[in-house]
A = this chain, B = another copy of it.
């Protein structure tokens, strides 16, 4: 478990999550070292007057798209910027439509009880950070997750990242960011084989 504030790289082991405390203005680069790996990202402002957490729904309305473009911000449930997308060195396919995987999802997929999930991973990190856990996990920012909106349905693809692809965010306010290297091995999104992520704080 690492909570550090600058010039540090945190390994997120495959199927696990890690947190990082960012100060306003700091950058977080999420790196996919092996490629084809989704990260579920959550953010919590230190100052609750800025909102309780990053909100995908309010971000969609704020940027008027399904996902921000570089230069645009992710906002909280109080419509306040928490992270800005500053650089995208990936194919640019990310998702804010699909919820975090959880125990119910893995049970439906036939996994035995105890399969790791992004929802459980998030609550583990929040507990370690001394924060309240969620009964209902917020909609994550699913970096590198390739979900395409068709005319009639959603189409799911393996993450299109190559080894070393990355996305860089800048904190708009002091916040805790949690990233889960998604443990999903029963659908296509990680191409069947979850791998690690890296968080570079700078």
Contact = CB atoms under 8 A, between A and B. Distances in A.
A78 B57 CA distance: 19
Contacts of A52: 135-136
Q: Indicate how many identical chains form the complex.
A: 2
Nearest to A150: B65
A97 B98 CA distance: 12
A152 B53 CA distance: 26
Contact of A65 (B66, B105, B135, B153): B153
What DSSP secondary structure best describes chain A's contact surface? loop
Interface in A1-59: 52-53, 55-58
A87 interface: no
A96 B121 CA distance: 27
Nearest to A107: B79
A104 B49 CA distance: 12
Closest 10 CB pairs of A and B: A57-B99, A77-B136, A57-B139, A79-B104, A64-B154, A64-B153, A65-B153, A58-B99, A61-B98, A60-B97
